[in-house]
Amino acid sequence: MRILDITRILSENTPVYPGDIRPAFRQEGQGWYRVSSLMLGSHTGTHIDAPSHCADYNETIDRIPIENLIGGCRVIDARSTGPLIKASFFQGKMETAQRILLKTDSSVSDRFPSEYPVLSPDAAHLLIRYGTRCIGIDTPSLEPLEGDGIIHHLLLGSGCSIVEFLDLSQVPPGDYTLVALPLRLAGLDGSPARVVLLKNGEL
């Protein structure tokens, strides 16, 4: 079984959404052991959004269905879609896939982009109609910087989990098993996550 780590390195240099808390780490020696303190936002680096990320919903990251985040998924090449990923892009690409990861050109950058491909409302509605359990992307968000939150509102309100800021640069499009595990943080709206893909039959 081949294991592909699609998590971005989380460090003090990790780019953050404008206005978010910049990550800061402090490590202290305590005799024979070390202990580190961390300061970071709940949506820093590769992360998972809970429905409570939207003010209208209450389900927090410790309560989202883990089944959304573990299971068969499809990586789809979205590098030629342009700035808006529309519903028509998904025609013939989804079939029975319940978890979708979108690979754009953002995976090759370690900076926070001023512009990046985003999901259109009609694409969000299509994913909901298909019963998509999870949608992931390698951009910082499914919405533009000036977005109004409608994409998050639609998807999270339908029970679809969102994983953002993945690193899919070394991942060919195709079918995999997704394992995306947020920290079980009580009452919070999201969490940094370790996300891997498993490919059966490969070494």
Domains in the chain, ordered, with CATH? Answer: 2-9+41-199 (3.50.30.50)
Question: What is residue 108's three-state secondary structure?
Answer: helix
DSSP-derived secondary structure letter, 146:
T
In this prediction the pTM is: 0.95
> Which of 175, 177, 190 minimizes the C-alpha distance to 16?
190
pLDDT of 135 reads: 98
pLDDT of 202 reads: 58
- The pair of structure tokens assigned to 21 is 């808390």
CA 158 vs. chain centroid, Å, equals 17
Annotated catalytic residues are: 53
- The pair of structure tokens assigned to 143 is 């919405």
pLDDT of 89 reads: 96
- The pair of structure tokens assigned to 153 is 């509102």
Long-range contacts of 129-132 (CB under 8 A, 24+ apart): 130/94, 131/98, 132/94, 132/97, 132/98, 132/99, 132/100, 132/160
pLDDT of 149 reads: 95
Q: How far apart are CA 137 and CA 152, in angstroms?
A: 13
| Residues lower than pLDDT 50 in the chain | 203
Q: Residue type at 72?
A: G
pLDDT of 197 reads: 98
The structure tokens 């998590």 sit at 7
pLDDT of 157 reads: 97
Question: What is residue 134's three-state secondary structure?
Answer: strand
